[in-house]
Amino acid sequence: MNLAVLVYTFLLRTKKFRKIDLVFDAMLITACFGSVMQGPGMVQRFIDLMMNPATMMIMAWGFATDSMVKGTEYQALLFTRPLTRSSYVVSKTIMTWLGAQLVFWKCFLALLAANLLLHPKTVTFFTGWDVLYIVANTLSFGALAVAVHRLPTKWAGLAYILLFYSYLGGAAMPAGVKFTGSAQSATVPMEMTRDALSHVLYPVIDLEAVFHSTTFSIVPILAYISNILIYITLATIMLNRREFSYAQD
Amino acid sequence: MLKINPGDTTATPLWLLISASLFLVLRVAASLYEAQHPPVPKEQIAWKENVEISKQIEGKPLLYYFRADWSPTCLQLETDSFCNPEIVETINKSFVPMRLSDTLKPLVLDHNKTKELIQKYAVSVFPSLVIALPDGTLFEKIPGAVKHKNLQKALDSAVKTFKAVQGSEAFARGDFDLANKLLGEYLAENKYALVDESEEFFWPFECAFRRYICLRSLSKDSEAEACLTEALKHDNNKPDWPLPLLRYVAGTISLKELQKSEEPNLEPDLALLAFVNHKDQECFEHLEKSLPRTIYKSRYDSRAARALVAKLSPDLRKQLELKYFF
Amino acid sequence: MISVTNLSKTYKRGKIKALNDVNFTVNEGEVLGLIGPNGAGKTTLMECMLGLIFPSSGEVQINGYNPSHIEVKKIIGFLPEREKYDSWMNAREFLGYHYMLSRQPLGGAKTAIEEALDTVQLVAEARTRPLSTYSKGMLQRVGLAQMIVGKPRLCFLDEPTSGLDPTSRNVVRDVIRSWKNEKVTVVLNSHNLDEVERVCDRVAFVYGGRIATIEKYGEAEDQFTVIVKWSGPEDAFRRLEEIGKHAELELSLAEGSSARFILSSKQQLPQLARSLVNAQIDVEEMFIEKKGLEKLFEQGWRQLNEK
């Protein structure tokens, strides 16, 4: 882990993207007040939306990226410093994890404030399990975001969009329903593959489901830890092999 | 290839490689083990297999679970939600659960029946949960692998309100006898004990109105009055519908004030009231106003009002039929 | 300190040869200049030495380590050609960032940053402005400062004076000279032959991905060469030799009808002229030979065109 990278990534978000944050804050406050005015059902839906994997992707992206506008981190200069590329990846992951959480807590506090202002008697809040859910999932999404950003730029953007839409699609698998009893639908193998892929490295873990279930299964926890380590390893390997060169004179 | 020399800034740390490989191996091993020895939950959902008989039995809402063997999302739903003890308890206690699978092994169930059900409920994704009333009417469809929290909420809401929906369906068909029975049971169970401002707030009051109509049409006026009084005891003085309607029926507010509420259901409700007060002409006038509003055809009160057309005197009925049904 | 052995770098499966079997060494405390035409491979060579790109064959060793080794990174400073620094930071933050990156003790950060900014003569009011508001000269100074805070023992500078005004160029030169005094090794990449001459101990000419010649370029500002061309008399050559002996001027070469005298100062020029007249040599032409590096450049161009 590298302190300089941690501080830089934090400053990057707080100082560089300040103007964009103002817009985001304004939108957030409007959304919070709007949903509270609609009632507790709407508030709950707002919270569910925040915790949706697709939203998590966006939150994590903000920190994992070098920049949102032209002018990325000057990595050609950065990697002439005594900094191992693996420590760079790990530091970025940790900062993305902490940073994404900050965004969530800001959103929830705004929601709570709106709720207390408009409907002080009935406050829809989130449980301890939700807190753990956010903490755990921001870490895995942070690692995933950092890994995706180590791809060459055009591939990174594409990969991000694909992942976003696969998570946005949710957990339903549309199927050509042919009740023949032996699943002869031609698209089933393709759908199975696609589904398997999205499940193999699916970064989400629902801690409440794991611990509240009548049967305890360690597979989700192992999958979660394994996913994070795989993302970090992939990111490190990709970064290690990358060459930094600017155009010839 | 992969560099692991210590000291090299472009080397992959050994600890990372080893831990990633280790956890991957553990994970694959655990998955394979669990696939062979799936963990058996302590409480299981008592799935019924025979579709026909189950429907008749218990007067509980039906829970159809459409699944497929080849869908990992179904597995996810089953491990997340169906292993949750609260959900299992809710389902076993308050529903008649039926599981319909598209499986690679020969089916126990009749293919055709299952196909019929799929078409009836327009199931398009796996997994899908369908909550139906005891007579098969669709109550709610829950596609996808919902999280157990959301499923719990949906099931609880269904348990609380299915009788109200059942009764309202009967009311909408014009079967006031059955509607009275079901709505009476619902009101007796719930006793208006709902959280202020929750989404199910309006149900008891709407059911109270419908029960009032049923009782009046069955000439049980005193019971009708008792029902109305009981409902108004829980009046929270807010303008939320259908409280103004109940107040109007009780005589606390005038028609003009009622009409201020701009509720789309107003005309059908007034038609129903006029009918039970044996004011056919008034009923006819309100029906004339409510029938053209086709977008509200699915609402219970609107449907009940439409059913009234058959009960009007022949000349009034003819006029309406000519205008709106042909 | 640096040893480059059989270094080659190819792109597109060997179709493009950016570097072709480069061999040279750089000693500790030396200032090496790399000159060459555009596209010769100077930047590629520098990037290989910095460990930013990986050679296709051959190796680079810095103090016995691979360039991507952490021990090497600890002593390196790099001034890139393009000043794409984090434009949202101000000078102090940027230097603080690089100070932290170079693993300096955190306590002395403030002092070191101010010292570095003073060394590069960045005006005080500019130090709190974001880098996006800086001119090219100021950015170059900040670049130098970020090298200085790292306390490097080996410096790589890529086109440090391109597009700079004379004041900024002086700053760069002074910094390089101070490094020279501290026995810091410097590898310098430049088109500006003047600058290279003034600070470099050795100069390498790079063209077509190869190193053509490495000349030892001492502090030869005081020496210059005069070429004399004559048309007669017959024994002019003998007479020139005598002139050389008498005037104590070094006659370095004499062939055909031209001779080359090396003078230690311009004051000797009139003396040479008088000697030639007294010796009754029919001087056709007498001129000061073009400066060493320019000659090297031209030589290289010629060889390139011949190939």
CB B322 within 8 Å of CB B285 = no
Q: How far is B4 from chain C (nearest CA, A)?
A: 12
A74, A80, A249 ranked by CB distance to C38: nearest:
A249
Residue B3: the pLDDT is 66
Judged against a pLDDT cut of 80, whether residue A96 lies above it is answered with yes
Assess whether C177 and C147 both reside in one domain: yes
pLDDT: which is higher, C56 or A214: C56
Q: At C85, is the pLDDT very low, low, confident or very high (cuts 50, 70, 90)?
A: confident
CB contact under 8 A, A248 and C76: no
Mean pLDDT of C245-274: 74
DSSP string, B136-189: S-EEEEEES---HHHHHHHHHHHHHHHHHHHHHHHHHHT-HHHHHHHHHHHHHH
C-alpha distances out from residue A109 to A46, A52, A62, A81, B73, Å: 13, 18, 20, 40, 33
> DSSP class of residue C190?
-
Burial status of residue C39 (CB atoms within 10 A of its CB: 0-12, 13-18, 19 or more): middle
Look at residue C303 and tell me if it is in a domain.
Answer: no
Closest residue on chain A to B84 (Cα)? A213
What stretches of chain B adopt beta strand conformation (E)?
Answer: 62-68, 96-102, 125-126, 128-132, 138-143
Neighbors of chain C with 3 or more C-beta pairs under 8 Å: A, B
**CA C219 to centroid of chain Cα atoms:** 13
Query: Chain B residues with CB inside 8 Å of A203's CB?
Result: none
Q: Virtual CA dihedral for C231, C233, C237, C238, nearest 10 degrees?
A: -170
* Total number of domains in chain C: 2
Quick check: B147 and A206 CB within 8 A? yes
Measured between CB atoms, does C84 come within 8 Å of chain A?
yes
pLDDT at C65 over 60: yes
Give residue for tokens 């032209």: A70
Residues C92 and C52 in one domain: yes
The ipTM estimated for the assembled molecules is: 0.75
* Chain A residues touching B23 at Cβ < 8 A: 222, 225-226, 229
Residue of higher predicted confidence among B323 and A33: A33
- Residues of chain B with Cβ-Cβ distance to C64 below 8 Å are none
Out of B249-263, C110-124, C174-188, which region has the weakest mean confidence (pLDDT)?
A: B249-263
When mean pLDDT is compared across A131-140, C106-115, C137-146, the lowest value belongs to: A131-140
**Structural domain contains residue C16:** yes
Q: Which residue of B has its CA nearest to A86?
A: B12
Q: Are residues C211 and C244 in the same domain?
A: no
Specify whether C206 is located in the same domain as C225: no
Chain B residues near residue A229 by CB distance under 8 angstroms: 16, 19-20, 23-24
Return the amino acid letter for B297: K
Q: Is B252 on the interface with A (CB under 8 A)?
A: no
**Within a domain: residue C178?**
yes
Interface probe for B, chosen from C47, C53, C54, C69 (most Cβ of B below 10 Å), is C69
Q: Are residues C180 and C254 in the same domain?
A: no
Chain A, nearest residue to B13 by Cα: A86
C69 touches chain B (CB under 8 A): yes
Residue B107 pLDDT greater than 70, yes or no = no
Cβ of residue B102 closer than 8 Å to a chain A Cβ: yes
| Choice between A196 and A242, residue whose per-residue pLDDT is larger | A242
Mutate to test the interface with A, among B2, B8, B24, B152 (most CBs of A within 10 A): B24
Residue in chain C nearest B6 by alpha carbon? C69
Cβ contact A122–B196 (<8 Å): yes
Q: What is the CATH number of the domain that holds C242?
A: 3.30.70.1150
Based on the domain organization, do C151 and C212 belong to the same domain?
A: yes
- Are C85 and C131 part of one and the same domain? yes
Is the residue at C175 inside a domain? Answer: yes
C307 falls within a domain: no
Instruction: Using an 8 Å CB-CB cutoff, list chain C residues near A78.
Output: 101
Contact B149 A208 (CB under 8 A): yes
How distant is the Cα of C57 from the closest Cα of chain A, in angstroms? 15
Mean pLDDT confidence for A241-245: 82
pLDDT at B19: 92
Domain boundary among C174, C196, C216: C216
Instruction: Report d(CA B80, CA A199) in Å as an integer.
Output: 14
Closest in A8, A15, A80 to C50, CB measured:
A80
Mean pLDDT for B290-298 is 61
Residue B2 has pLDDT above 60, yes or no: yes
**C-alpha span between A84 and C107 (Å, rounded):** 23
Q: Do B39 and A196 touch (CB under 8 A)?
A: no
| Interchain proximity A82–B9, CB inside 8 Å | yes
Q: Is pLDDT above 60 for A56? A: yes
Q: pLDDT per residue over B188-241, tens digit each?
A: 876 665 544 555 567 778 888 888 888 888 888 888 888 888 888 777 777 677
* C188-239: pLDDT as tens digits: 888 777 777 778 888 888 887 888 767 666 544 456 778 888 777 777 777 7
Cβ–Cβ contact C11 with A under 8 A: no
Query: Residue C71 is part of which domain span?
Result: 2-216
pLDDT at position B41 is: 62
* C33: phi then psi, degrees, rounded to nearest 5: -105, 140
pLDDT digits (tens, 9 = 90+) for B26-85: 988 888 887 777 666 666 777 776 656 555 555 778 888 887 776 667 777 777 777 777
Q: What is the CATH number of the domain that holds C160?
A: 3.40.50.300
B9 contacts on C by Cβ (under 8 Å): 51, 68-70, 73
A 10 A CB-CB count for C100 gives 20
Residue C106 token pair? 């955190």
Chain B residue with CA closest to A177: the answer is B124
Could you identify the residue written with the tokens 């989400």? A204
The token duo for C167 is 């004041």
Are C182 and C256 in a shared domain?
Answer: no
pLDDT given at position A70: 42
**Partner-chain contact C73 A16, CB within 8 Å:** no
Report residue A163's pLDDT band, with 50, 70 and 90 as the boundaries.
confident
Q: Could you tell me if C76 and C156 are in contact, meaning their C-beta atoms sit under 8 angstroms apart?
A: yes
Highest mean pLDDT (candidates A26-35, A161-170, B213-222): B213-222
pLDDT at B22: 92
State the maximum Cα–Cα separation within chain C, in Å, rounded to a whole number: 78
pLDDT digits (tens, 9 = 90+) for B128-141: 888 888 777 788 88
Last residue of one domain, picked from the residues C216, C240, C258: C216
Q: Which of B235, B208, B205 is nearest to B224 (CA)?
A: B208
For residue A79, list chain B residues with Cβ-Cβ distance below 8 A. Answer: 9
Q: Is C194 an interface residue toward A (CB < 8 Å)? A: no
Of residues A124, A100, A110, the one with CA closest to residue A9:
A100
Distance CA C213, CA C204 (A): 6
> Token pair of C165, please?
């005004």
Q: What is the DSSP letter of A14?
A: I
pLDDT digits (tens, 9 = 90+) for A34-44: 877 776 667 77
User: In this complex, do A173 and B126 lie within 8 Å of one another by their Cβ atoms?
Assistant: yes
To which H or E segment does residue A179 belong? none
- Give the helix/strand (H/E) hosting B81: none
Alpha helices, DSSP H, located in chain C: 42-50, 70-75, 91-101, 109-119, 136-149, 166-181, 193-199, 236-247, 268-278, 292-306
Task: Select from B34, B70, B199 the Cβ nearest to the Cβ of A41.
Answer: B199
Chain A residues bordering chain C (beta-carbon distance below 8 Å): 2-4, 7-8, 11-12, 15-16, 71, 73-74, 76-84, 243-246, 248-249
Report chain B's mean pLDDT, rounded to a whole number. 77
Contact assignment for A48 to B150 by CB distance below 8 Å: yes
Residue ending a domain, among C151, C184, C216, is: C216
- On whether residue C300 sits in a domain, the answer given is no
What is the reported pLDDT for C145? 92
HSE at residue C232, side-chain half, CA atoms within 13 A, is 1
The stretch A84-89 carries a mean pLDDT of 88
C24 shares a domain with C129: yes
**CA atoms of C98 and C112, how far apart (whole Å):** 11
Does residue B295 register a pLDDT over 60?
no
Q: What's the pLDDT score for residue B193?
A: 59
- Confidence bin at A182 (pLDDT 50/70/90): very low
* pLDDT, average across residues A214-241: 84
Q: Quick one: closest CA in B to A170, which residue? A: B144
- H or E segment to which residue A154 belongs: helix A153-168
Within 13 A of B233's CA, how many CA atoms are on the CB side?
A: 9
Alpha-carbon distance of C204 to C273, in angstroms, equals: 35
Taking residues C237-261, what's their average pLDDT?
Answer: 73
What residues of chain B, 28 to 47, have a C-beta less than 8 Å from chain A?
A: 30-31, 34, 39-43
- Residue among B315, B317, B310, B307 nearest B213 (CA): B307
Contact call for C51 and B10, based on CB within 8 A: yes
Please check whether residue C282 lies inside any domain of the structure.
Answer: yes
Cα(B106)–Cα(A198) distance, rounded to whole angstroms? 29
Q: Has residue C306 been placed in a domain?
A: no
Q: And the tokens for B199?
A: 């989404």
Question: SS3 for A206?
Answer: coil
Nearest CA of chain C to the CA of A14: how many Å? Answer: 11
8 Å CB contact of B72 and A192: yes
- Provide, as residue numbers in chain A, all residues whose Cβ is less than 8 Å from the Cβ of C81: 246, 249
Nearest residue in B to A228, CA atom: B20
Taking the Cβ of residue C124 and every Cβ of chain B, the question of whether any pair is shorter than 8 Å is answered with no
Residue with tokens 């009788």: B163
Q: Are residues C159 and C259 in the same domain?
A: no
C31 Cβ partners below 8 Å, 6+ apart? Answer: C176, C179, C180, C185, C186, C188, C199, C200, C201, C202
C140 shares its domain with C105:
yes
pLDDT tier for residue C155 given thresholds of 50, 70 and 90: very high
**List of domains in chain B:** 51-146 (3.40.30.10), 161-262 (1.25.40), 264-326 (no CATH)
- DSSP summary character for residue C53: S
pLDDT the model gives residue A176: 37
Q: How far is C130 from chain A (nearest CA, A)?
A: 11
- Window 3-42 of B, Cβ < 8 Å to C: 7-10
Q: Which of C128, C89, C123 is nearest to C100 (CA)?
A: C89
Regarding whether C263 and C193 lie in a shared domain, the answer is no
